[in-house]
Amino acid sequence: MKKTFMILGGIFLIIILLIGGMGLFTWYKSSKYEETAVPYIQSTVPELSKWDPELAKRYMVPKVFEETSDENFAKIFKYLSRLGSLKKMNEPKFAKIFTGATFGDGKQTLVTYTIDAVYENGDATITIVLLDLGTAFQVYRFNVNSMALAE
């Protein structure tokens, strides 16, 4: 009986250490991006929020345009323009990091942040996924969730 409790205690200790280690690793990774990704986001989101597709293309990963036609890209930004102009943006919050290999591009690191923002016609939550290029970033995905778009 005592041996069973020691084994179970050891298993729980290992699980706790793994969870703690993952949390520490995530904190370490997110702190790495505080000085680089956050300023990039703070300068990029206001530009993307001008809802100009041509301006947005400067910030986006070129692969986005292989999968989305210029016409559809313009429609998306016209739809998002219903939010109006950006009034206020809170500090970006680190959500997750993903590093993986792709067939064509090799190894990629994607960093995800969420931002609460206030637009002229309502509040929104922005999820922005950045492609880490080592010395710079590009926007891999830009999602806007707002009740103002549902109307």
Domain boundaries defined on the chain: 1-33, 35-149
Provide CB contacts within 8 A for 128, sequence distance 6+: 41, 44, 45, 92, 112, 113, 114, 115, 139, 141, 142, 143
Tell me the pLDDT tens digit for each residue of 48-85.
Answer: 999 999 999 999 998 877 778 889 989 999 999 999 99
Provide CB contacts within 8 A for 5, sequence distance 6+: none
Rounded Cα distance, 86 and 118, in Å = 6
> Confidence class of residue 34 from pLDDT cuts 50, 70 and 90?
confident
> Confidence class of residue 30 from pLDDT cuts 50, 70 and 90?
low
Global pTM exceeds 0.85: no
At the top level of CATH, the class of 35-149 is alpha beta
